[in-house]
Structure 1
Amino acid sequence: MKTVLILCNGKPPSQELFHEYRANADYFIAADGGANIALAWDTFPDVVIGDLDSFKGNGDAPFEIIFRPSQQSNDLEKALSHAQKEHGTHINILGATGHRLDQTLKNLSVLKKYDTYFEQILLIDDFGKTQLLSNSFTSPITVGTQVSLFPLSGRVSGITTNGLKYPLDNETLENGVRDGSSNEVVDSPIEITHKKGDLLLYTKHFSD
């Protein structure tokens, strides 16, 4: 197992959240301007990668800088491709949400594009974490935690859940028709299965 932290240039996480995930990472990638956030907190990434239109550093930096000017992929995609080369298995991504909605939506699309290349990818911010679910998912999430299900592909069918306050039994979620927001864990571990489509799980950070 190799845990990789990626810091993007969206809304910065709290320093506490950043240092928590940095301490548990085997390798740290700053996606372009994400490096500015890390350097402001006196932390060096292992590598900075992107088109470098936001990074304010220079060639004297004590870490690798990789210039990838292609506009066919965004900086998160470039960082994930590099994480593949570094044999990352578990990817934690900070700073990929907030600020511009179009960039947040793009990063959710990137999540789908790269999901099969890693054992786990999480988009994390100060409020919670988002992940794309396999067709059969089980997790020991703390009872009382708020969760939401979102059909990333527009429509997800054959959803069955166990351990949630508002269960689904071979049912469908569809954008503009029926959503799965603001549910709650009542029994742990939870189990979620679905038959067709791309299903996102948002888990709010638990607090007593």
Structure 2
Amino acid sequence: MNAVILCDGTPPAADVLNRFLDNAFLFIAADGGALTARSMGLHPDVIIGDFDSFIPNGDEPGEIITDPDQETNDLEKALAYAIGKGAVSATVFGATGKRLDHTLKNLSVLKQFDHKFESLTFRDRYADIFLVHSPYQAELPIHTSVSLFPLSGRVTGITTRGFRYPLNNEDLENGIRDGTSNETIKNRVEIEFEKGDLLMFINHKTEEA
């Protein structure tokens, strides 16, 4: 039960978005994301938001949900709706790019909603972005570019295996040390840590999504 959510950040490549939609049971446009969908000739099942960017004209084939609450942003509204419809995983496009303050807010929303899904991933043209749960294991091609970022400000006791630059019970902390642009040297990677919110970027080899 995967939902695809399209926000109003940098638009994804149409062919990549369509590939994900082929395996989604629910397609939600978060306010201005409906403009991106319209430009691609796509029809979301639901358009939700406070509509400060998208103005419905009444011809939309999907459901229109107006939520004027200013304490939640449009991505929060879309994720809450997806949960209500039974989604257990969600892939979010357009959550990054354009305004940096909106990107940072959406990363905060990622943290807020992560525990409510089995899988919650932001995907943009450069990376898949998600929170790592310790212990984490994954199969990745050798030479995959990976970055780690302490979303909570500090993540302690990190140990990694399968990377060119491993960590051994070390900390990452904003303004002091980060984990940008590491590289896998084995097909299987492992990450463990003690405390904090660790954001992982699996970087695409090309600007693809």
Shorter-chain-normalised TM-score: which range? over 0.9
Aligned to 2:160: 161
Aligned to 1:89: 88
Q: How far has the Cα of 1:15 moved from its partner?
A: 1.4
Between the aligned partners of 1:42 and 1:60, the Cα distance in structure 2 is 13
Between the aligned partners of 2:136 and 2:97, the Cα distance in structure 1 is 27
Which consecutive unaligned segments of at least 5 residues does structure 1 have? none
Q: How far has the Cα of 1:191 moved from its partner?
A: 0.7
> Cα RMSD over matched residues?
1.0
Q: Which runs of 4+ in 1 moved over 3 A?
A: none
Aligned to 1:45: 44
Aligned to 2:54: 55
Secondary structure, aligned partner of 1:35: helix
Secondary structure, aligned partner of 1:61: coil
Asked whether the 8 Å contact 1:3–1:88 carries over to 2, the reply is yes
Aligned to 2:204: 205
Q: How far has the Cα of 1:17 moved from its partner?
A: 2.0
User: Does residue 185 in structure 1 map to residue 184 in structure 2?
Assistant: yes
* Greater mean deviation of Cα atoms: 166-175 or 58-67: 58-67
CA deviation map 1:147-186 (0-9, x unaligned): 0000001100010111111001111001111110010011
Question: Letter of the aligned partner of 1:48 in structure 2?
Answer: I
Aligned to 2:11: 12
Question: Letter of the aligned partner of 1:109 in structure 2?
Answer: S
Between the aligned partners of 1:58 and 1:137, the Cα distance in structure 2 is 46
Aligned to 2:74: 75
Between the aligned partners of 1:16 and 1:204, the Cα distance in structure 2 is 18
Asked whether the 8 Å contact 1:36–1:56 carries over to 2, the reply is no
Aligned to 2:23: 24
Secondary structure, aligned partner of 1:80: helix
CA deviation map 1:95-116 (0-9, x unaligned): 0100000000000000000000
Between the aligned partners of 2:119 and 2:66, the Cα distance in structure 1 is 26
Between the aligned partners of 2:149 and 2:39, the Cα distance in structure 1 is 35
* Greater mean deviation of Cα atoms: 135-144 or 70-79: 135-144
- Going from structure 1 to structure 2, the CA distance change for 1:206 and 1:139 (only over 3 Å counts) comes to farther
* TM-score, normalising length: structure 2: 0.96
Which consecutive unaligned segments of at least 5 residues does structure 2 have? none
| Percentage of identical aligned residues | 50
CA deviation map 1:109-159 (0-9, x unaligned): 000000000001111011111101112111111111100000001100010
User: Does residue 131 in structure 1 map to residue 141 in structure 2?
Assistant: no
Asked whether the 8 Å contact 1:50–1:67 carries over to 2, the reply is yes
* TM-score, normalising length: structure 1: 0.96
CA deviation map 1:61-97 (0-9, x unaligned): 2110000000000000000000110111111000010
